[in-house]
A and B are shown apart, each in its own frame.
Chain A
Amino acid sequence: MQKEDKIEALIVKSFSGNISPEENESIKEWVNESTQNIRYYQELKDIWQVIHPAFSPDEIDVDKAERKVMGLIQERKLINSSIFILWQRVAAVLIIPVIMLAAYLSYNQSNRSSSIAYQEITSPFGTSSKVDLSDGSTVWLNSGSKLRYPVVFTSNERNVYLSGEAFFKVHSDKSHPFIVETKGLNVTATGTQFNVEAYASDSITAVTLVEGKVNVKMVGDKNVHLNPNERIVFNSITNNYNLTETDGQHWGLWKDGILAFRDEPLNEVFKRIGRTFNVDIVIKDDNISHQLYRATFQGESFDEILRLLKISAPIKYKILERERKPDNQFNKEKIEVYKVN
Chain B
Amino acid sequence: MPGIYHNIMKEEHYLLVELKQGNKEAFSLIFQKYYKDLVLFGGSLLRDKFQCEDIVQNVFLKLWRNRETLEIETSLKSFLIRSVQNSCLDELRHKVVIREHESYSQSFYASDNMDTEHYVLYSNLESHLEEALGKLPEVCRIAFEMNRLEGLKYREIAERLNVSERTIEVRIGKALGLLREYLKEFFVFLLLISGNWK
Most buried by A among B56, B108, B154, B183: B108
In chain B, residues 31-73, which have Cβ atoms closer than 8 Å to a Cβ of chain A? 31-32, 35-36, 39-41, 43-44, 46-50, 52-53, 56-58, 60-61, 64-65
In chain B, residues 110-133, which have Cβ atoms closer than 8 Å to a Cβ of chain A? 114-115, 118-122, 125-126, 129
Q: In the bound complex, what is the Cα–Cα distance between A297 and B59 (angstroms)? A: 50
Q: Kindly state whether residue B79 has any CB partner on chain A within 8 Å.
A: no
Q: Kindly state whether residue B151 has any CB partner on chain A within 8 Å.
A: yes
User: Who on chain A is nearest to B41 by CB?
Assistant: A49
In chain B, residues 8-34, which have Cβ atoms closer than 8 Å to a Cβ of chain A? 24, 28, 31-32
Q: Kindly state whether residue A47 has any CB partner on chain B within 8 Å.
A: yes
Q: In the bound complex, what is the Cα–Cα distance between A49 and B40 (angstroms)? A: 9
Contact between B122 and A53, CB atoms less than 8 A apart = yes
Q: Kindly state whether residue A136 has any CB partner on chain B within 8 Å.
A: no
Q: In the bound complex, what is the Cα–Cα distance between A31 and B106 (angstroms)? A: 12
Residues of B within 8 Å of A161, CB to CB, are: 49-50
Q: Kindly state whether residue A203 has any CB partner on chain B within 8 Å.
A: yes
Contact between B119 and A44, CB atoms less than 8 A apart = no
B residues with a Cβ closer than 8 A to A are 24, 28, 31-32, 35-36, 39-41, 43-44, 46-50, 52-53, 56-58, 60-61, 64-65, 103-104, 106, 108-109, 114-115, 118-122, 125-126, 129, 147-151, 153-154, 166, 169-170, 172-174, 176-177, 179-180, 183, 187
Q: Kindly state whether residue A321 has any CB partner on chain B within 8 Å.
A: no
Q: In the bound complex, what is the Cα–Cα distance between A42 and B110 (angstroms)? A: 12
Contact between B170 and A51, CB atoms less than 8 A apart = no
Q: Sort A-B residue pairs by CB-CB distance and give the 9 closest, nearest first.
A: A8-B173, A54-B43, A9-B173, A12-B173, A9-B169, A49-B44, A54-B47, A55-B49, A9-B170
Contact between A47 and B32, CB atoms less than 8 A apart = no
Contacting residue for B148 out of A4, A41, A51, A73, CB 8 A: A51
Binds B, one of A56-64, A210-218, A220-228: A56-64
Q: In the bound complex, what is the Cα–Cα distance between A5 and B53 (angstroms)? A: 37
Contact between A237 and B173, CB atoms less than 8 A apart = no
Q: In the bound complex, what is the Cα–Cα distance between A203 and B151 (angstroms)? A: 9
User: Who on chain B is nearest to A201 by CB?
Assistant: B151
Residues of A within 8 Å of B126, CB to CB, are: 57
Contact between A5 and B170, CB atoms less than 8 A apart = yes
Contact between B57 and A54, CB atoms less than 8 A apart = no
A140 CB → nearest B CB, Å: 20
Residues of A within 8 Å of B64, CB to CB, are: 69, 73
User: Who on chain A is nearest to B47 by CB?
Assistant: A54
